[in-house]
């Protein structure tokens, strides 16, 4: 498509430009600022929010698809499902599994990245496990949890063909600090999650290059005033960014506010942690051999353990604004620029500025997605 102009409220995301204009050509942003003589065809979105595309670094699946499924339609299905939630880029996230199964999943996902997907762009892989705390495993398969092994990590890294971007592990398990150093050396983000780490262990992990914490609060010990644990370490140490599942269920709005105030929008990363039944009607589903119940936006195992969310990032932005009290600019930053920065994809992604990638999400002021644009091309448009 040749060049065109979007009109609406431009969210850079660091500032809001009312009566703004965003010009796009050749898959890039040419201009962001106040309205002026337009370039090419004009699409007027009233006062809707024209934002940088949302980036989700923690997605297992949705719309009946799981990133580890063998079905060749899987990644395209997830990609289109996410685009309808304003997501323009994502990390396909695996779960704890035996070595062979994990390797095969990683290979399949890396292959899928090469075939064009119809919605959000697959930016890489996030391995959640298998090097986790048994005690804090949440819905992860306990049988396949094991201690870190850099030989296995090397095999997974090779299978991913350069697409391995993040690994969630528990820093307190034997061998974890070596694994963290190894990952940091490869340029892969080492993230703490499903961990029982205490404060001192957390600091040791940060010193070895751990730079991110997966779904802060969930799958870790709580904050105690004499032993603040990894939670207290993450909230107070400027070296790490933190993920929040802002779905209105996983974390109380006051806890969301506390974390994002401590970290600031730049180090707060909204994630969906969405799983296979997300986006489907309430009911019972089978997910990796286990029965799950989706009800009122929450997916649980039969024993009541929360297994993941059913939101997309536009919903997380809504929760951060309407329930946790942040501005539109701050909340959009947490879902676009902050995750893009964690993945070292800035300045190209995460921001609307001259020369940035034309990944754009257009939402109304209720954060309903109207249109999603990836590389200058519309991949989703709502009927309403």
Q: Are 23 and 30 in contact (CB under 8 A)?
A: yes
Residue-by-residue DSSP string for 341-372: HHTT-TTTSSS-STTSB--EEEE-TT--EEEE
DSSP 164-227: EEEEEE-TTSTTHHHHHHHHHHHTPEEEE-SB---HHHHHHHHHTT--EESSTTTTB----SS-
Establish whether 247 is a catalytic residue: no
**In the numeric block, which tokens belong to residue 376?**
């200058």
| C-alpha to C-alpha distance for 268 and 382, rounded to whole angstroms | 28
Residue 334 is encoded by which pair of tokens?
């947490």
At 116, list the tokens.
């064009």
Q: Does an H or E element contain 75, and which?
A: helix 74-83
Strands of the sheet containing 283-287, edge to edge, are 283-287, 290-295, 298-301, 306-309
Spatial distance between the Cα atoms of 192 and 177, rounded to a whole number of angstroms: 11
CA distance 136 to 213: 14
Adjacent-strand bridge partners of 195? 220
Decide: 190 and 211 in contact? Cβ < 8 Å: yes
CA distance 48 to 45: 6
Q: Which residue among 56, 76, 196, 273 is the active-site one?
A: 273
Tell me which residues are annotated as active site: 273
């Amino acid at each position: 498509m040749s060049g065109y102009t979007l009109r609406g409220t431009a969210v850079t995301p660091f500032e809001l430009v009312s009566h703004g204009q965003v010009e796009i050509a050749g898959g890039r942003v040419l201009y962001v600022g106040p309205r002026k003589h337009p370039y090419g065809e004009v699409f007027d979105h009233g006062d809707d929010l024209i934002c940088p595309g949302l980036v989700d670094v923690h997605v297992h699946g949705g719309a009946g698809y799981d990133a580890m499924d063998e079905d060749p339609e899987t990644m395209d299905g997830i990609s289109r499902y996410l685009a309808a939630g304003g997501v323009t880029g994502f990390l396909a996230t695996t779960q704890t599994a035996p070595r062979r199964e994990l390797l095969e999943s990683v290979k399949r996902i890396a292959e899928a990245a090469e075939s064009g997907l119809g919605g959000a762009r697959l930016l890489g892989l996030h391995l959640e496990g298998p090097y986790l705390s048994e005690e804090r495993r949440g819905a992860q398969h306990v049988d396949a949890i094991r201690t870190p092994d850099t030989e296995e990590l090397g095999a997974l890294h090779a299978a991913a063909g350069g697409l391995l971007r993040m690994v969630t592990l528990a820093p307190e398990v034997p061998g974890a600090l070596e694994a963290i150093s190894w990952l940091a050396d490869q340029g892969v983000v080492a993230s703490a999650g499903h961990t029982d780490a205490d404060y001192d262990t957390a600091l040791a992990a940060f010193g070895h290059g751990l730079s991110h914490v997966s779904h802060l609060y969930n799958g870790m010990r709580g904050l105690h005033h004499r032993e603040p644990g990894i939670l207290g370490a993450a909230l107070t140490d400027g070296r790490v960014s933190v993920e929040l599942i802002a779905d209105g269920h996983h974390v109380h709005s006051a806890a969301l506010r506390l974390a994002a105030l401590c970290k600031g929008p730049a180090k707060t990363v909204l994630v969906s942690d969405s799983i296979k039944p997300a986006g489907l009607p309430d009911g019972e589903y089978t997910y990796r051999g286990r029965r799950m119940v989706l009800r009122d936006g929450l997916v649980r195992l039969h024993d009541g353990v929360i297994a993941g969310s059913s939101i997309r990032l536009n919903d997380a932005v809504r929760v951060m604004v309407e329930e946790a009290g942040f501005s539109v600019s701050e909340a959009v930053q947490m879902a676009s620029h902050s995750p893009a920065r964690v993945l070292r994809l800035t300045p190209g992604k995460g921001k609307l500025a001259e020369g940035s990638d034309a990944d754009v999400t257009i939402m109304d002021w209720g954060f309903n997605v109207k249109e999603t644009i990836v590389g200058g091309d519309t991949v989703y448009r709502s009927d309403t």
